[in-house]
Structure formats: structure tokens, C-alpha cells
Amino acid sequence: MQKIVLIGDPVAHSRSPLMQNAALAHLGIAARYEAVRTSAEELAERVASLRDPTFLGANVTLPHKQAVVPLLDTLEDEAARIGAVNTIYKHADGALRGANTDAPALLADLAEAGFAPAGRTALVLGASGAARAAAFALAGARVAALVVANRTAERAEALLADVLLGITDETGLTPDGTPPPTLVALALDDPELADYVAGCDLLINATALGWHDDETPLPAPPVGPHTLVYDMVYRPTRLLHEAAARGASTRTGIGMLLHQGALALARWTGREPPLEVMRAALGS
């Protein structure tokens, strides 16, 4: 029996084991997926243990998506640009390779929601590994403007500097010759944030605030019917309830979880992921 693990802290809430074990059983693969709580102090040892032949790989969740990067042998190009990894898999020689399946998963789920980012204004709350994936994905999808608001504006500024570097060449243009999106970094307590929230087409919560019922990164968000409010937490949250009360469309992160998990499974097994089996296991 081979193993795949979810590395993070906390992990008890995760629904990935349900989804991945259903997929592995459907494919007839003798492997088991389990969530393993891993502190920052344990991270290096946990990643090193993946080199054992019994492991197919791992998922990585908060707070380790950036910290895990230097512990790996190689990175896929997109993971290197983003600077965050949520999937670890192996080369034939056993080397550990990092991928970011969060970014394409977000775009896939937005497409399922009928939202096309191109030409729109997007606002991302947070500057963690999940926020980095969202920011790079949206910039690559040609949003007209991208706002990142974080507890500290300095981290938001650093993230957007990395985005600009990752999507432009020496001429300052994107590879297809178009200008990059307008980029704005703010602190969550900046008085100007309310105006940006009111004007955005897409608002994404990429912080951990929302796992508990009374938590929200943005109380009483001034959104309206023109806005899709997307919370990466994969259950209804206070942010989504308050946004819906103001007429906004809302979406949890369960679809993003599904798509990133399918992309990860393909890397671990080389098999076509049974997407509908995985969706059914999540109850989505």
C-alpha cells in the first residue's frame, strides 16, 4: 500500500482524504491518502520522508506552501514563478518536484461559475501561498486591474512586484505584447479599501479567516450584484453570507479544491482523474 499525505497545520478539517481515497479506489490504485498535521519545526523531516519509495507524493496546505519550496529538488515553471507549492510528486529517479495546481484550479472553477476574468477588476485578500496562486492566475488571465489587500501592505506590495516580474519581459509588456494589469497593494485597514471593494468584479478571500463562523477578513463588504465573492474556504462563511445579503453572487472554494486535487492526482499516478467521482465524494 503506497501513501500520499496532506502536509499542513491544521489539517483535521480537510476533505481531501475523502476525495482522493474515492478516486484511488475507483482507479484500482493500491494507495492511501491521509492528512498529517505538520508543524513548521517538523516540515523538513516530513518532506524528507517522502523520498521513501512507499510515498507517491503529497499535498501541501497552509502555512507551508512557500516554506516547502527550498526543500524540494525541482519546481515546475509555474510553481517557480508563483513561489508556492501545493503538490509534491516524484520523478522516475525519486527526485521531489513541486507543482502549483491551485492557480489553474481557481481558473477552472471560475469558468464553471461562468466568470471570465479578462478585462475585469479583481481584488484578492491575503498574501499567503494561496493568495500568490490567485494573483498569478488572475494576472495571467488578463484582468484589467488586480488589487491585493493584506494585513501588512508591505507583503501585498512584495507579492505584486513578483507578479509583475513573472508576467512581463524586459520591455515591460506581457509575452503577447500587451501591458500588464493595473496593480494596487493595500493594507486591510486602509480606508481606501472600501472603494476598491465596491468597484471590483471579483473578490477573493485567500486568507484563513473564515474557518470559524465568526471570522471574516472584511466585515460588511460593500459589494453589489455586479460582484462575485469567492471564498477559498470550502464552506459558506460569514463573508459569503454578508455578501449575499448585499446582492452579490457567492461561491465557496469547494470547486477549487476539486480541480487542484484532480491535477495533483494526475501527477502522482499518471492516470486520468475521475473528476465526477471526486466531485461526488466532496458532495459538491
CA max distance for the chain: 55
65 is catalytic: yes
Q: What is the DSSP letter of 179?
A: P
Among residues 15, 46, 65, 251, the one annotated as catalytic is 65
Q: Which three cell numbers stand for residue 32?
A: 492511501
Q: Which three cell numbers stand for residue 46?
A: 516530513
| H-helix segments, 99-182 | 102-112, 129-140, 153-167
Bridge partners (DSSP) listed for residue 231: 205
- What's the distance, CA 198 to chain centroid? 24
Bridge partners (DSSP) listed for residue 89: 57, 97
Reported as type and span, the H/E element at residue 60 is strand 55-60
Q: Catalytic site residues?
A: 65
